[in-house]
């Protein structure tokens, strides 16, 4: 029986690459995005349903899940991929901006998961793959909001692992490193205001490092994440976390082997931060 994966944030990058990857493996694919007109060549593929879903809009979530079940009869794998990164000094964000980051990366993920769970419970099986980041287990400067959401994804996923495993539903976390997508473009929300001059030296250092050829050279193509998602979705073991990218593996190894002072000191050195 052909299996079905339901993907949020499928307009580009990891989501679109994964939709293509699973389709090529013979799966049914529900590719959801805020604007279905951006689906491009996905819309022409057989066994692919393109439908609208905004993770901050409950009605669109419910409608997308209903459409998926009507077309394919059920959802075997949920890929919670939709998200973006808010970076900059905390003082530069108003509460609307703070809530938008958490509504998209955390609350939206939870609402999509809740919408899919009844069908998986009825089936007695399913897999939920949540896209976190190495930024869910370590941090970079000026990323309090983004890292806050990814640390939340790590925690909620680990807790859900306990409660859903007895129901036959596996929870998996995929942790990409630097990926060559448009995350630093339209999916990157950086804020700084002119009056917050005290933070500008850190802002300058952040962009110098993230925009450096050395950092760009570590970025993996989205296909690397698609392969990790495939491994997670098809792994029947209780394994919880999967890294994606050589840099992710290196960072996570260092994080597990070093104490806080050593690891954080290394990040400070990488960004040229004193003290």
| 32-to-28, 69, 180 alpha-carbon distances in Å | 13, 13, 21
4-270 CATH fold: Rossmann fold (3.40.50)
pLDDT at 184: 52
**Residue range 111-156, pLDDT digits in tens:** 999 999 999 999 999 999 999 999 999 999 999 999 999 999 999 9
| Catalytic position from the list 11, 132, 157, 226 | 132
Half-sphere exposure (Cβ direction) of 8: Cα atoms closer than 13 Å: 31
Q: Is 132 a catalytic residue?
A: yes
pLDDT score recorded for residue 176: 96
Q: At 220, is the secondary structure helix, strand, or coil? A: strand
- Among residues 87, 146, 242, 251, the one annotated as catalytic is 146
Examine the residue annotation and report whether 251 is marked as an active-site residue of this protein.
no
Which residue of the set 12, 16, 150, 251 is catalytic? 150
| pLDDT tens-digit series, residues 144-189 | 999 999 999 999 999 999 999 999 999 999 999 988 754 455 578 9
Q: Under 8 Å CB-to-CB from 157, ≥6 apart: which residues?
A: 128, 130, 132, 171, 172, 173, 240
Ordered by start, the domain boundaries in the chain are 4-270
Instruction: Provide the CB-side half-sphere exposure for 230 (13 A, CA).
Output: 18
């Amino acid at each position: 029986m052909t299996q079905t994966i339901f993907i949020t944030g499928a307009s580009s990058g990891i989501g679109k690459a994964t939709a293509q990857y699973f389709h090529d493996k013979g799966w049914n694919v529900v590719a959801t995005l805020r604007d279905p007109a951006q689906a491009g060549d996905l819309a022409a593929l057989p066994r692919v349903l393109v439908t609208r879903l905004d993770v901050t809009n409950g009605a669109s979530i419910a409608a997308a899940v209903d459409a998926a079940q009507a077309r394919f009869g059920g959802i075997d794998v949920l890929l919670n991929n939709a998200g973006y990164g808010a970076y900059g000094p905390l003082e530069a964000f108003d509460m609307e901006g703070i809530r938008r980051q958490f509504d998209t990366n955390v609350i939206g993920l939870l609402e999509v998961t809740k919408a899919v769970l009844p069908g998986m419970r009825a089936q007695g099986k399913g897999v939920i793959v949540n896209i976190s980041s190495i930024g869910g287990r370590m941090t970079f400067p000026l990323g309090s909001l983004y890292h806050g959401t990814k640390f939340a994804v790590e925690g909620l996923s680990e807790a859900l692992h306990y409660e859903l495993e007895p129901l036959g539903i596996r929870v998996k976390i995929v942790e990409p490193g630097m990926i060559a997508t448009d995350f630093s473009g339209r999916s990157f929300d950086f804020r700084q205001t002119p009056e917050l001059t005290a933070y500008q030296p850190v802002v300058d250092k952040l962009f110098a490092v993230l925009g450096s050829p050395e950092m760009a050279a570590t970025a993996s193509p989205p296909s690397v994440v698609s392969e990790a998602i495939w491994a997670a979705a098809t792994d029947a073991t209780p394994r919880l976390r999967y890294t994606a990218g050589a840099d992710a593996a290196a960072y996570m190894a260092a994080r597990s082997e070093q104490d806080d002072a050593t690891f954080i000191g290394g990040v400070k050195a990488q960004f040229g931060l004193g003290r």
